[in-house]
């Protein structure tokens, strides 16, 4: 049981037809297996999100294929996509954009259950509380709406929603980048905990090598659309083989320790910054 992206390339057509577009992703191959965390690291613009969107079926590759349990998703029928979406969920960078502001939190986290017609109203309400508990968010927030909740809490809520259908795979595309540093470690630890307790397969995408190191069993390095290195986390930190990876390790060592690591300070969401400052705290560079 795996998701396998095989020789994926993606060329975005440029508006001016004369311009030659360089591929956003080039011949990328990776495999996501249950119980494992695959870290995908690379600078902004290296093609991480494009690859993630292709894996999720949100974007068509120019060439290559995605195999879900050995079946190419390009051959999927509606029912296959239904099954796929139940098992493969995503968490994105900015929960403020990802969640509907007018919906109550309780309704947000159980929306997937309604879509799949799972349970009755009372069962879904009970499940909503359970889901919030899983991500350590107070059930008091069930009747609140996103604007009343901090960014860190909102990302937890986005994760709760992604867990509603009990997926096997979670694709996290820069899930910390819109959050204040003080709440990042809490989210990392939550993901680690979920991965270990539920045996989730995690594809964790970040431009922050330190975070990827903390989470991953296997590390992939992407540069200008290509996966230039794939190594176990241990191998990787003993000495990555690609010069670019070495450069990244050097950079990571030179900057502050990452979320989930030894960064001092509070990790609880109760210390959240106000939303205004939070969204500007860190941007992918």
Give the integer Cα–Cα distance in Å for 254 and 247. 11
Is there binding between residue 224 and ligand ADP (CB under 6 A)?
A: no
Tell me the pairing of strands 37-41 and 201-206.
Answer: parallel
Is there binding between residue 110 and ligand ADP (CB under 6 A)?
A: no
Q: Are 36 and 75 in contact (CB under 8 A)?
A: no
Is there binding between residue 49 and Mg ion (CB under 5 A)?
A: yes
C-beta of 108 vs 205, nearer to ligand ADP:
205
CB of 158 to ligand ADP, least distance (A): 18
Three-state helix/strand/coil letters over 233-270: HHHHHHCCCCHHHHHHHHHHHHCCCCCCCCCCCCCCHH
Q: For residue 245, what are the contacts with CB-CB under 8 A and spacing of at least 6?
A: 221, 228, 229, 236
Interface residue with ligand ADP, options 2, 11, 36, 45 (CB under 6 A): 45
Interface residue with ligand ADP, options 39, 47, 64, 146 (CB under 6 A): 47
Q: Which stretch binds Mg ion (CB under 5 A): 48-56, 110-118, 148-156, 231-239?
A: 48-56
Find which of ligand ADP, Mg ion, none residue 282 binds, CB within 5 to 8 Å per kind.
Answer: none
Interface residue with ligand ADP, options 50, 73, 216, 282 (CB under 6 A): 50
Closest to 9 (Cα-Cα) out of 21, 39, 206, 17: 21
Neighbours of 242 (CB within 10 A): 15
CB of 61 to ligand ADP, least distance (A): 12
Q: Which residues of 42-69 are buried (b: 16+ CB within 10 A; e: fewer)?
A: bbeebbbbbbbbbbbbebebbebbbebe
Is there binding between residue 39 and ligand ADP (CB under 6 A)?
A: no
Q: Which stretch binds ligand ADP (CB under 6 A): 47-55, 78-86, 193-201, 243-251?
A: 47-55
> Where does this chain bind Mg ion (CB under 5 A)?
48-49
> Where does this chain bind ligand ADP (CB under 6 A)?
12, 24, 42, 44-50, 284
């Amino acid at each position: 049981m795996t998701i396998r992206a095989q020789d994926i390339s993606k060329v975005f057509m440029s508006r001016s037809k004369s311009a030659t577009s360089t591929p956003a992703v080039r011949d990328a191959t990776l495999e996501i297996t249950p119980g494992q965390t695959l870290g995908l690291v690379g600078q902004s613009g290296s093609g991480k999100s494009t690859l993630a969107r292709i894996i999720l079926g949100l974007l068509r590759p120019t060439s290559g294929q995605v195999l879900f349990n050995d079946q190419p998703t390009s051959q999927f029928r509606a029912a296959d996509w239904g099954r796929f979406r139940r098992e493969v969920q995503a968490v994105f960078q900015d929960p403020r954009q990802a969640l509907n502001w007018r919906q109550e939190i309780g309704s947000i986290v159980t929306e997937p259950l309604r879509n799949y017609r799972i349970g009755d109203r009372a069962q879904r309400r009970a499940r909503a509380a359970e889901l919030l508990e899983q991500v350590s968010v107070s059930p008091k927030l069930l009747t609140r709406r996103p604007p009343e909740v901090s960014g860190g809490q909102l990302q937890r809520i986005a994760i709760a929603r992604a867990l509603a259908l009990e997926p096997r795979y979670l694709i996290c595309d820069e899930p910390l980048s819109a959050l204040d540093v003080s709440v990042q470690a809490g989210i990392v630890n939550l993901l680690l905990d979920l991965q270990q307790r539920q045996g989730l397969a995690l594809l964790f995408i970040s431009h922050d090598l330190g975070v990827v190191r903390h989470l991953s069993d296997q590390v992939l390095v992407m540069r200008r659309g290509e996966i230039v290195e794939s190594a176990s986390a241990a191998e990787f930190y003993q000495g990555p083989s690609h010069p670019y990876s070495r450069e990244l390790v050097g950079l990571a060592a030179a900057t502050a320790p990452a979320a989930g690591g030894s960064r001092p300070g509070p990790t609880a969401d109760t210390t959240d910054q106000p939303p205004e400052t939070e969204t500007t705290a860190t941007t992918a560079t």
